[in-house]
Amino acid sequence: MAMQEKENGIALLLKRGELTGEIREKLVRKVEGLGIPRYLVAQHLGVSNSTLHKWEHGPTGRCSVSARRRLAMLLNGEMDHHLMGMVAERTVRYDDEELPDDMMMCMEKINQVYDICANSPTLGHRFLERMRNAATTVFLDLVASESSEPSQDGETQG
């Protein structure tokens, strides 16, 4: 019962849109506790990463009417399952092993840019085309350097 009263109190505060210290603290703990990229939380709330940061740390004192319900749902834990599902869908595996962290970070950055391009199909298409070209160039350079390196017995491979 006490938990529901506290959740209702948070929902009431959000109806006025005030981002009190209590709301900010709970938001910071929630986002950190989910252990998922901040931009995914912001995206799910329908706001920018910058707005989410301002809600957590200021200077923004109020949240928009359109975001209040989603923010209350996040703070009350109603989005946890869905957000964790989004992350599970994005987990990339290779031979039942997770990819190295640096590769995952690179892929996450590419995904962030692609998400930004979502509202502009032309921009998204151009981005993907350039990424394909860059990946092909890097791969061919790696193959060429591999074949020109001396093998362990001193002979050049290839």
Indicate the residue type of 23: I
Are residue 13 and residue 82 in the same domain, yes or no?
A: yes
146 is written with which tokens? 């591999």
Are residue 34 and residue 67 in the same domain, yes or no?
A: yes
More confident residue, 134 or 11: 134
* Res. 10 pLDDT band, cuts 50 70 90: confident
Most confident of the ranges 6-15, 64-73, 88-97, 117-126: 64-73
Cβ–Cβ under 8 Å, residues 23 and 9: no
Are residue 104 and residue 86 in the same domain, yes or no?
A: no
Say yes or no to pLDDT of 87 above 80.
Answer: no
Are residue 87 and residue 107 in the same domain, yes or no?
A: no
Are residue 47 and residue 103 in the same domain, yes or no?
A: no
* Res. 2 pLDDT band, cuts 50 70 90: very low
Are residue 77 and residue 111 in the same domain, yes or no?
A: no
Condensed to tens digits (0 to 9), the pLDDT of residues 42-65 reads 888 989 888 999 999 988 888 888
Total domains in the chain come to 2
Q: What pLDDT was estimated at residue 20? A: 84
Most confident of the ranges 90-94, 97-101, 122-126: 122-126
Average pLDDT over residues 141-151: 78
Are residue 73 and residue 33 in the same domain, yes or no?
A: yes
More confident residue, 63 or 119: 63
Are residue 73 and residue 4 in the same domain, yes or no?
A: yes
Average pLDDT over residues 73-91: 76
Are residue 115 and residue 157 in the same domain, yes or no?
A: yes
State the chain's mean pLDDT as an integer. Answer: 77
Are residue 1 and residue 75 in the same domain, yes or no?
A: yes
Are residue 117 and residue 62 in the same domain, yes or no?
A: no
77 is written with which tokens? 């834990």
SS (H, E, C) 53-107: HHHHHCCCCECCHHHHHHHHHHHCCCCHHHHHHHHHHHCCEECCEECCHHHHHHH
More confident residue, 3 or 152: 152
Are residue 102 and residue 126 in the same domain, yes or no?
A: yes
CB atoms within 10 A of CB 76: 19
Question: Of 91, 112, 136, which marks where a domain is finished?
Answer: 91
Question: Of 50, 70, 91, which marks where a domain is finished?
Answer: 91
Question: Of 75, 91, 107, which marks where a domain is finished?
Answer: 91
Condensed to tens digits (0 to 9), the pLDDT of residues 20-45 reads 888 899 999 998 888 888 888 888 89
Residue 120 belongs to domain spanning: 97-158
Average pLDDT over residues 65-71: 88
